[in-house]
Amino acid sequence: MPTISEDVISTVTSALPIKTLVVVLFVATFVMIVYYMSPLHLTTILTASIDEAEETYIEAHGSGLLSAAHTETLYHLQLEVSTIIEETLCNSLSWDAVLCDVLRGHLFALLRCILKVQRFEMQIKILKESRLRTERGYLPPALWLWPTFWRRPGSSPDLDET
């Protein structure tokens, strides 16, 4: 990766007027926001999220952890994701359709769907972790310390203070 020395940067910034530098920074920030919030970029993130959720689902289903409700939820999420991706790809053929998509709030539908998929995946991961904990009889260290935390210093845990 090429590096630019600090001397070159300070020379360029001192030669340019401050207004030009502010405009360049503003334009660069705006372009980054447009790129990261573009429907096609969000579609890529949504596709990756649903793939990860499906892999997590398959792992948990193989261990017999999930119920029919989880299968139904995954089916509805897959249907919603495929509908949104199809609509986004059809609308990405022209700038007019992309602009209309943005103005109609399609970005928020994409973001909402991404969050739903990630929440579903997180629920499955939580189920897997809780099952591991119960299988091993493992309690988190904070619960091990619970009785000793409330004891007064110098008191014995075996003696009943009344």
> Containing domain of residue 40, as a range?
23-149
- Domains in the chain, number: 1
* Residue 58 belongs to some domain of the structure: yes
Mean pLDDT of 3-8: 71
When the pLDDT of each residue in the chain is averaged and rounded to a whole number, the result is 81
End-to-end CA distance of the chain: 71
Q: Note the pLDDT tens digit of each residue in 42-68.
A: 999 999 999 999 999 999 988 888 888
Does this model's pTM top 0.85? My answer is no
